[in-house]
Amino acid sequence: MCLIAFAIDAAPGVPLLVAANRDEYWARPTAALHRWALDDGTPVIAGRDLRDGGTWLGLGPRGRIAWLTNVRQPAAEHRGRSRGELVSRWLQSDTDSTGFVEALDPAAYAGFNLVVGDLHRGEWAWIGNRRPDAPHAEQAPERHWRAIGPGVHTLSNATLNTPWPKARRLAKALGDALDSRDEQAMPLTGALIDTTPAADAELPRTGVPDTVERVLSSPFVRWPDQAYGTRCSTLLRLGADGELRIDEWTHDGAAATPALSAQAHRQERVRVT
């Protein structure tokens, strides 16, 4: 994932609402949202990276849920383990977030943000390996962890709740959807396919050229010169009755205008018990 807004116990009757876009190279093989099993047999509901086998957002047994973003690093690409395995590891484990982070080798992965949740216990945490105050600076990887409380939160390619323009835009749309009691209202779905870049004065400064910052600053990314962009959009809702619904739309990189089309839509429902 590259942009996520999520609300935890932020409105009556909606314990969890998530809106997210995953950006990736178009050539990277990917399976859309479906039910499958991890290597140890753990059943999950998630999309799947077919190159390395992990995922970016998924639901496992016992109310385990997680999602992941990369930290933008202008230096040479890290050649460690796939960050997508972090989500898989959380879904198949039964430890709490403290035990999970203690067992984590932060140097094994390029920069990441991982949000983990236990829907049964109502516990949420952010885990990363870059300093929250300077995620893009050169640094030795270290473990970082913090609990996440109720409210609307965002995650992109910096750290938790960094107020990048596209994160603020999606968070506002998420809040408006909660206020209207319509989690698939046009303001929210429209925000996921918004291609408007940030104003130059508001561009993030992560160490890449401004031309790159500008391309990556919109909620929905299109970068045809690099065959890169938003590959899928996801809405996830947990209701007070315990039903969790995940809607995913796969995007066509050749499309002139992004859309959440019925032909590219997948939905999974499960009761969290």
pLDDT tens-digit profile of 13-52? 999 999 999 999 999 999 999 999 999 999 999 999 999 9
Half-sphere exposure of 205 (CA within 13 A, CB side): 3
What pLDDT, on the 0 to 100 scale, is given for residue 78? 66
d(CA 136, CA 164): 14
What pLDDT, on the 0 to 100 scale, is given for residue 76? 60
Is the separation of the CB atoms in 186 and 259 below 8 Å? no
What pLDDT, on the 0 to 100 scale, is given for residue 243? 97
d(CA 4, CA 257): 21
The residue type at 127? I
What pLDDT, on the 0 to 100 scale, is given for residue 183? 65
Closest by CA to 269, choosing from 94, 35, 55, 109, is 35
Q: Write out pLDDT tens, residues 87-140.
A: 999 999 999 999 999 999 999 999 999 999 999 999 999 999 999 999 999 999
Tokens of 239: 């209701």
- CATH number of the 3-271 domain: 3.60.60.10
